[in-house]
Structure 1
């Protein structure tokens, strides 16, 4: 896929120098920068196995055992 981007002169010059220093071409640096940005800003998604999990039919509900829990001796945040 091809895109045209417009950079100000200073940014374009910095990109050219960075490309020369790295031995990569400008397009490669731009591809890498976009890929890194997308990876950092991607919305986390649960795997399909988790999203589709329907529970275990014969397992009692978690709340059913709460009355068996002993209360804490003291408030740990007090």
Structure 2
């Protein structure tokens, strides 16, 4: 989909200098910037298996009990330093 975005003259000048330096098109830089912004700002959600597990008042009775140990792989190693 195409649409127009309007920038002030100083922003256009800065963008032109940046694309000349890195060798990308203005459209590509703008597209990458929007994708990066969305990745950082989109609403995060819990995995469906976890939502299903906690929506059940007695999850231990469910046939497909959630394996919490499998989630440990996503945690940083103990010696990975601070987690802030």
When normalised by structure 1's length, the TM-score is 0.69
Partner residue, 2:60: 56
Matched residues, number = 58
Distance (whole Å) between structure 2 residues aligned to residue 6 and residue 48 of structure 1: 39
Deviation at 1:31, TM superposition (A): 0.4
Partner residue, 1:9: 9
When normalised by structure 2's length, the TM-score is 0.64
Distance (whole Å) between structure 2 residues aligned to residue 18 and residue 35 of structure 1: 18
User: Which structure's CA Rg is the greater one?
Assistant: 1
3-state SS of 1:21 partner: helix
Distance (whole Å) between structure 1 residues aligned to residue 49 and residue 61 of structure 2: 17
Partner residue, 1:30: 30
Distance (whole Å) between structure 2 residues aligned to residue 29 and residue 56 of structure 1: 49
**Hey, which bits of structure 1, 4+ residues long, moved more than 4 A?**
none
**Structure 2 unmatched ranges of 5 or more:** 63-84
**Structure 1 unmatched ranges of 5 or more:** 59-78
Q: RMSD across aligned C-alpha pairs, in angstroms?
A: 1.3
